[in-house]
């Protein structure tokens, strides 16, 4: 018989510990995927912020291959979107200036000259 005064040590439940560890790993993976998605989204919406996520994932994370891959993808997205936005800006600027006729561009150049500016000032007075 057992003596009620002697302390009994609980038997470890290895299955419960294994389940808790697996649950913790899944939660960590879920949080990491959310962080990756957030980094990708900000890299596309505001390209310079992608550099922050590159540095964060590559240099300040656990160093897992997934983190490094996410950092490189953020940097590539940042560069692609930045180049695309510059190209679109030049293209749109070219479209606005190409719609002007040569006569109107000559007229604008004549208005810019200092002599014509002085005569315009005299007209407005």
Q: Does residue 45 lie in a domain region?
A: yes
DSSP string across 52-93: HHHHHHHHSS---HHHHHHHHHHHHHHHHHHHHHHHHHHHHH
User: 6-18: buried (b, 16+ CB within 10 Å) or exposed (e) per residue?
Assistant: eeeeeeeeeeeee
Q: Is residue 107 part of a domain?
A: no
**Residue 90 placed within a domain:** yes
Structural domain includes residue 33: yes
Q: Is residue 121 included in any domain, yes or no? A: no
Position 29 in a domain: yes
Using one digit for the tens of pLDDT, what is the confidence trace for 40-86? 999 999 989 999 999 998 998 878 888 899 999 999 999 999 999 99
- Checking if the pLDDT of 24 tops 60, the result is yes
What is the domain count for the chain? 1
Does residue 4 lie within any of the structural domains? no
What would the two tokens of residue 14 be? 């290895």
Specify if 6 maps to a domain: no
Give the domain range for residue 47. Answer: 22-99
pTM of the model: 0.60
């Amino acid at each position: 018989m057992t003596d009620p005064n002697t302390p009994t040590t609980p038997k470890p439940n290895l299955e419960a510990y294994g389940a808790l560890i697996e649950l913790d790993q899944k939660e960590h993976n879920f949080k990491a995927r959310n962080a990756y998605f957030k980094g990708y989204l900000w890299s596309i919406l505001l390209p310079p912020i992608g550099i922050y996520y590159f540095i964060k994932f590559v240099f300040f994370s656990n160093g897992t291959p997934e983190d490094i891959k996410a950092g490189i993808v953020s940097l590539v997205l940042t560069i692609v979107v930045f180049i695309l936005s510059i190209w679109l800006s030049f293209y749109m600027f070219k479209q606005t200036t190409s719609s002007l006729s040569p006569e109107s561009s000559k007229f604008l150049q004549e208005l810019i000259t200092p002599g014509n500016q002085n005569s315009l000032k005299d007209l407005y007075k």
